[in-house]
């Protein structure tokens, strides 16, 4: 990366939970940056934050557009992305957006680099980052789908409060310490589980559940399989977990499944019941891999597999995936 051209980078939503991790990872991964533009709402404009041991002034969206960055990584919510991503794109910037705003737009690419980065081209000026729960799901399922062909997936998620944002993390901390405070959820989250991630749609599913149903089909460019999801918020501070049941068209050997997952870049297999080895959010914390365990055959019907999938939702589920997209664009000369 030392010989790569240096980029002017804007991080939109730089003061948020995901934005903070993006800044940390850009530094960790030594992304070649000539100028860092931290962008946030009017409440934060003028304040300063530290990036690579230097103070950087937080700027507003219009000032960032006028600065004409090479890449803008958005993590500032869907309404901000819908309004401002096209303005950045018109200024010649490539936008990588972490909200749900563009994911199912047929004119926009939805990308997990290990799976489908090859679909990207120079003309892609707004690129969608998938939902955090979707990313870890497809990272584990893509190699299995390629070999055995999925028919149906049933997934139940166990999602940390960090997926909701800082307000939810504060609610959990307040409840643990017995303090009153602002509520991110309609009920207490400490010592509780809420089958309610995002808002409910007319069909009785939440938006989060419908993202899990729709996004994998687009990423894998295959609508011949179906996904049914139940998304649950649990009182963990970070890391999402998923219990996944996958029915395939073709039968499989468990040893082959483990080997296939073990050989998949970005996936770590933790699967040994004899030593109580299985993925947990506490082990996934601050790591970029997707962890897979509890790999076992569903004995109630043929060609069906059970998996337990865990990942750090702020890293691979958001920031890492977005930066990997930026790296792919840079290394493959896809930035105009």
Domains delineated in the chain? 7-129+318-331 (3.40.50.720), 133-313 (3.30.360.10)
Give the pLDDT confidence of 254-301 residue by residue, as tens digits.
999 999 999 999 999 999 999 999 999 999 999 999 999 999 999 999
Give the pLDDT confidence of 42-98 residue by residue, as tens digits.
899 999 999 999 999 999 999 999 999 999 999 999 999 999 999 999 999 999 999
Asked whether the predicted pLDDT for residue 2 surpasses 90, the reply is: no
pLDDT at 5: 81
Give the pLDDT confidence of 98-146 residue by residue, as tens digits.
999 999 999 999 999 999 999 999 999 999 999 999 999 999 999 999 9
Catalytic residue of the set 56, 93, 132, 197: 132
Q: What is the DSSP letter of 265?
A: T
Confidence of residue 6 (pLDDT cuts 50, 70, 90): confident
What is the C-alpha separation between 105 and 129, in angstroms, rounded? 12
Confidence of residue 1 (pLDDT cuts 50, 70, 90): low
Catalytic residue of the set 56, 93, 197, 240: 240
Beta partners for residue 9, in sequence order: 36, 71
pLDDT at 336: 74
What is the C-alpha separation between 3 and 233, in angstroms, rounded? 44
Residue of 182, 189, 201 lying closest to 160 (CA atoms): 189
Asked whether the predicted pLDDT for residue 315 surpasses 80, the reply is: yes
Confidence of residue 318 (pLDDT cuts 50, 70, 90): very high
pLDDT at 90: 97
Mean pLDDT of 305-311: 98
Give the pLDDT confidence of 8-17 residue by residue, as tens digits.
999 999 999 9
Average pLDDT, the chain: 96
List phi, psi (to 5°) of 74. Answer: -95, 135
pLDDT at 3: 64
pLDDT at 256: 98
Q: What is the DSSP string of 11-69?
A: EETTTSHHHHHHHHHHHHTT--EEEEEEE--TTTTT-EEEETTEEEE-B-HHHHHHT--
Q: What is the DSSP string of 313-330?
A: TTIIIIIHHHHHHHHHHH
Give the pLDDT confidence of 168-207 residue by residue, as tens digits.
999 999 999 999 999 999 999 999 999 999 999 999 999 9
pTM over 0.75: yes
Q: Is 240 in the active site?
A: yes
pLDDT at 243: 98
Token pair recorded at residue 94: 């490539």
Q: Is 197 in the active site?
A: no
Question: How many residues would you count in the chain?
Answer: 336
What is the C-alpha separation between 93 and 185, in angstroms, rounded? 36
């Amino acid at each position: 990366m030392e010989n790569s051209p240096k980029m002017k980078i804007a991080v939109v939503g730089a003061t948020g939970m995901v934005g903070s991790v993006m800044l940390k990872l850009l530094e960790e991964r030594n992304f070649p940056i000539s100028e860092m533009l931290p962008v946030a709402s009017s409440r934060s404009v003028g304040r300063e934050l530290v990036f690579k041991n230097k103070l950087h002034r937080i700027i507003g969206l219009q000032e960032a557009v006028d600065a004409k960055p090479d890449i803008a990584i958005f993590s500032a919510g869907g309404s901000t992305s819908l309004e401002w991503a096209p303005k950045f794109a018109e200024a010649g910037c490539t936008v990588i957006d972490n909200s749900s705003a563009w994911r199912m737009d047929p004119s926009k690419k939805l990308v997990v680099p290990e799976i489908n980065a090859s679909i990207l081209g120079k003309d892609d000026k707004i690129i969608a980052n998938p939902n955090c729960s979707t990313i870890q799901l497809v990272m584990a399922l893509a190699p299995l789908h390629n070999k055995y062909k999925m028919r149906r997936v049933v997934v139940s998620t166990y999602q940390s409060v960090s997926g909701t944002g800082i307000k939810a993390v504060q609610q959990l901390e307040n409840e643990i310490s017995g303090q009153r405070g602002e509520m991110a959820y309609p009920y207490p989250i400490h010592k509780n589980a809420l089958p309610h991630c995002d808002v409910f749609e007319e069909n009785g599913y939440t938006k989060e559940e419908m993202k899990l149903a729709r996004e994998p089909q687009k990423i894998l460019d295959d609508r011949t399989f179906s996904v049914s999801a139940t998304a649950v918020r649990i009182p963990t501070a970070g890391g999402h977990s998923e219990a996944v049941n996958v029915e395939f068209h073709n039968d499989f050997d468990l040893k082959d499944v483990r080997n296939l997952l073990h050989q998949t870049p970005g996936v770590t297999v933790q699967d040994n019941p004899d030593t109580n080895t299985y993925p947990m959010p506490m082990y996934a914390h601050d790591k970029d891999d997707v962890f897979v365990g509890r790999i076992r055959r569903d004995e109630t019907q043929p060609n069906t597999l059970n998996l337990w999938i865990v990942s750090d939702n702020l890293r691979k589920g958001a920031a890492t995936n977005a930066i990997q997209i930026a790296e792919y664009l840079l290394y493959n000369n896809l930035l105009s």
